[in-house]
Amino acid sequence: MKKDRVISILVFLITGILIYIVTRDFFLAFAGNMPLVAGFVKFFFLATIGDFIGLRIKKGVWGKPNYLLAKATIWGLIGIVIVLMFKIFPEGVLYLQSVNILPFDGSIIAFAIFTSVLMNLTFAPTMMAFHRISDTYLNLKYNNKDTKFSDAVNDIKWNQFFSFIVLKTIPLFWIPAHTLTFLLPSEYRVIFAAVLDIFLGLILGLFKNK
């Protein structure tokens, strides 16, 4: 137990350090100049920490996720896509408001709500399903090298995925969290998103097929 407490302290300490690094001026400048690379790095580390914490909650002890590097790389790639979505959806909502397709043009609150709702009801389920399939595939492959992607798709209990991930975490957590995110000035969204990266890894890491 003493060893487990030490590891717990180290994990949260490292998490705090990483968040501090992400929010430092030099990283914000780096993210401004190379946003896709910064998105990869941020998710590679922070979302993977969420995986570690989720595994700790499930098993009661610290352990290393199977295929850690591959899973972290997948998180990094997801990070790149999310950086793109964080540009596409806000700009899209602003345009739709400007041409009166969406109401309340000029309202910051309406802008934040519309952006969060549209992003989480369209892009988020697809991204989470992709992560669920890739994560399940690597977990199955750890025990059986001949595992195919179709095996991973068939192994997932999709009714649980939709009832928990889609129907609960999206309306109860992600839409409110991202509404708050888009209420912030653009330069501070990176800071808040750094914290959400950990929660994303934690929530998806906690979800299990069995």
| Residue-level pLDDT at 210 | 44
- Give the count of domains, the chain: 1
- For 92-133, how does the pLDDT look when each residue is reduced to its tens digit (9 = 90+)? 999 999 999 999 999 999 999 999 999 999 999 999 999 999
> Judging by beta carbons within 10 Å of its beta carbon (0-12, 13-18, 19+), is residue 59 exposed, middle or buried?
exposed
Give the domain extent around 12: 2-206
- More confidently predicted of 186 and 43: 43
From CA 121, how far away is CA 133, in angstroms rounded? 19
Q: What is the pLDDT confidence band of residue 209, given thresholds at 50, 70 and 90? A: very low
Q: Tokens 């998806």 label which residue?
A: 204
Full-model pTM: 0.86
Q: What is the DSSP letter of 61?
A: S
